[in-house]
Structure 1
């Protein structure tokens, strides 16, 4: 499965969870964010608003509230749970520009 397919799957999972769980939806509905994922050779972006992720694209936005930078290999390890998010962050296998609180808040929904 390609990285694009995996990211689309995670977005679908998030949106489904938000549609089905009113309590979770209420927790996140106040967030409005734009996100870039920069994997050097691959770039992705999406928007979050009203507890829904939309406008997923295989290009980076000119400006984003949150920018996640890594490599395809390290992101794959994170997705496969072979690399823990905090360890990846502390060892600089993933860097995050923006408010880390937003990402820490959102990670519980995936």
Structure 2
């Protein structure tokens, strides 16, 4: 499994950017997504920005990662997966067809 982390661009150019995640700054390759303005969110995997994110999607990914860590520690994760609480899980449409 590959995990990417949302990061916020501080400054950069077409090749690299200084990006921040939870108070830590890192130099990230921007070759796959191009230059992004300061404040933009990118999904970073192995030191490379692999796609851009909007702020909402970045928050959802952070919540899911926090939820995974909390679940591994045995803590309650309902608040971090609020979009899943209180509803029946649904298979994606392409899998529903094969389940019949």
Structure 2-normalised TM-score?
0.24
Higher alpha-carbon Rg: 2
Larger RCO: 1 or 2 (CA < 8 Å, sep 6+): 1
Structure 1-normalised TM-score?
0.23
Q: Which has the higher helix share?
A: 1
Q: Which has the higher strand share?
A: 2
